[in-house]
Amino acid sequence: MTKIARWITVFGISVLALTLIASIILKALINPDDYLPEIEAIAKNNGLDITIGGPISLSIFPQLGVTVNDVEFSHEEIKNGFIEKLGFSFSWLSLLNTGAEVTNLPLDVIHIERGRFRFDDPTLLPIQVDNVSAQLSSFSLKGEVMTLNVSADVLNGLNVSLRSNLTARLMNSKLSQLKVYNLQIQADQVSLNGAFSADLAIPEITGNVWGSSINLRRQLQVIQQRLPIFSMPDMASNKALTDVSIDSEFNANPWGYSYYNHKLSVDNQFFEIAVEADQTSGKMTTNITGDLVNLHHYLPEQMTQVSPTLFAPLALPFIFWQGHSTVTLAINEILLPTFDITNLYSQFSGSNKVLQLSSLNADLFNGQINASAVFDLQKQSPVFSLQGSVYAIDLSQMFPSSTDIEGQFRGDFKLQGTGRDLNEIQQSLVGQGQFSVQNPFYGAISLEQSVCQANALFSGNSYAPAKPRQGTYLDSLFGTLQFKNGEVIFKSINTGTGNIKLQGNGRLNMLQQDYQIDVNASVEGPNSSSDGCAIDQQWQNRPIPFSCAGNYSTRTPQNLDCRPNVNIINTTTQRNMKKNGTNSYLHKLQNSITQVDKTDVLTEKNN
């Protein structure tokens, strides 16, 4: 061994020996547990209630370190916190060069092992964070780069990790600047990146967060497994919410004006969300714009199973903001299972769980809809009142399962209801309105032909139309409507065709998706029209009752079926048999039925 080598060996052994001797002397002279009451008092003066249950231990080599065990604490936001091991490591070189200033603290590493925190906010659900491990390396308050690594479990076992570089500066013994960059957040298969800068003197935080494609559907399923209270919405497409990404930038001032700009992509559908919040006035505005939304993919197969969770994002501004919030939604086109909505514009605002829909405008079925409403969310089951109008609705598009209905529908209505899903809402609806149909047409039957057939049956006369007519063109139709027990009740329906005048009532069952209309047809004159059939004198200006029923469900489509009232037929038949004699009347009736059957067959072939 050379002299230099022996000298290095002796020097190293000497340093080690001196360090061990210093460690023994230091531990003998200083008992850290004696400072526990003083540490707890200082923390309490700074708004932190702290209790240290375990011993405080010192380490000397290779770094001077202090480890505090079993630390329980609480704060305004962290109602229940616990750290099994809280450690501080000091650099020997920093200890030698440290002055009295706070910026020259000799800290090198701060680490936390097996921590547990519970965040309680009266406006939100409590959040429990378990198994927290964290390490802040190269500690500095002079703007030098530090490294932060954090991992924790949330939602009963879902691991979340965070890595970043950061810098911090003090001014007048207070933290004035904090910059975080190279931020990486990982939660299961969700990965986010970001950076932000905080000027705590103003205060103001500016930054951005972005993330690549996320299978949000899978993540929601993971959350549902760990949090049974969460309900995964049922959606028609198994590819819905499988490709979600976000790019956000923000400038936040907790006591002043803030803005947030988000670019959101959901299954290649793009949205821009702009949020402005002013703490001084307590007002927040949110503008959501988009081009195309295929809403059909995100709705359940059965519309009665629509979950409020699906529309939860629209409620977020009202959940997280305690002041007055206004949300504007503008979407160019929305695709639904049986129809499309275009040029949708909606604005609603509210505070204290009372929301007001000040405007809802959209184009659908080649017409327009306008509405306003008030929603009271203070009760377990929301209550709402709605008023609106529809104009120039194309009935052939409104009822796609029936290709024989035409006309332009318009109406005004006022409604009230309650419920948390579509089924409950439909059953609770009460209200009234009025409506009209311009240029109505029904192609499945010829009303004039039906009246002529009924006249033949009632009178016992024969009827053979010269040329079967396809469908019925009616005069403008007017009526009133009521909503009750899941039904739309039509009253005072008035229309006609030729010399035939129609009056009646009807109902539409929104739950069963079927409808029935009871109509009285009366002929004003000796003929059904200028070139129609002759009407028996006893049936002129006298109502002939018809009952019409159908189904507009796309699952079980059914054409409208109109028949004369059987009870009236029986009564009239008996009266005519007594008047004209049984054999004579039955012979005429048989001839008229034969002609009606032939006409029905011919009409069926032509259809």
326/439 same-domain check: no
Residue 250 forms part of a structural domain = yes
> Is the domain of 453 the same as that of 568?
yes
Supply φ then ψ for residue 416, to 5 degrees.
-135, 150
Q: How many structural domains are present in the chain?
A: 2
Looking at the predicted structure, is the pLDDT value of residue 37 above 50? Answer: yes
How would you classify residue 112: left for phi > 0, otherwise alpha for psi between -120 and 50, otherwise beta? beta
Domain boundary among 364, 399, 419: 364
- Of 338, 364, 390, the domain-final residue: 364
Q: Is the pLDDT of residue 310 over 50?
A: no
pLDDT tens for 419-430 read 877 778 888 889
Residue 373 vs residues 80, 311, 350, 413, 488: alpha-carbon distances, Å: 42, 17, 12, 12, 20
Q: What secondary structure letter does DSSP report for 233?
A: P
Domain end position, chosen among 308, 341, 364:
364
In this prediction the pTM is: 0.75
pLDDT of residue 196: 94
Does residue 187 belong to any structural domain of this protein? no
Report pLDDT for 561: 65
pLDDT given for residue 89 in this prediction: 87
Q: Does any domain span residue 62?
A: no
Q: Note whether residue 265 is domain-resident.
A: yes
Tell me the pLDDT tens digit for each residue of 123-170: 566 788 999 999 999 988 888 999 999 999 988 888 999 999 999 988
Residue 190 inside a domain? The answer is no
Any domain includes 331: yes
The chain-wide mean pLDDT, for the chain, equals 79
Longest dimension (CA), the chain: 147
E strand or H helix that includes residue 163:
strand 158-171
**Same domain for 444 and 359:** no
Q: Same domain, yes or no, for 454 and 548?
A: yes
**Residue 94 domain flag:** no
Alpha carbons 383 and 387: distance in angstroms, whole number: 14
| Pick from 586, 548, 607, 592: nearest CA to 454 | 592
- Span 490-505, average pLDDT: 91
Based on the domain organization, do 458 and 552 belong to the same domain? yes
* Same-domain check for residues 250 and 353: yes
Residue 342 structural domain:
202-364
pLDDT at 29: 45
Do 440 and 348 fall into the same domain?
Answer: no
pLDDT of residue 224: 80
Compute the average pLDDT of residues 297-312.
60
For 450-496, how does the pLDDT look when each residue is reduced to its tens digit (9 = 90+)?
Answer: 778 777 776 666 666 656 667 888 999 999 999 988 888 999 999 99
Can you say whether the dihedral through the CA atoms of 117, 134, 187, 276 is positive or negative?
A: positive
pLDDT digit string, tens, across residues 235-258: 888 899 999 999 999 999 988 999
Closest CA to 247 of 269, 273, 220: 273
- pLDDT for 171 equals 81
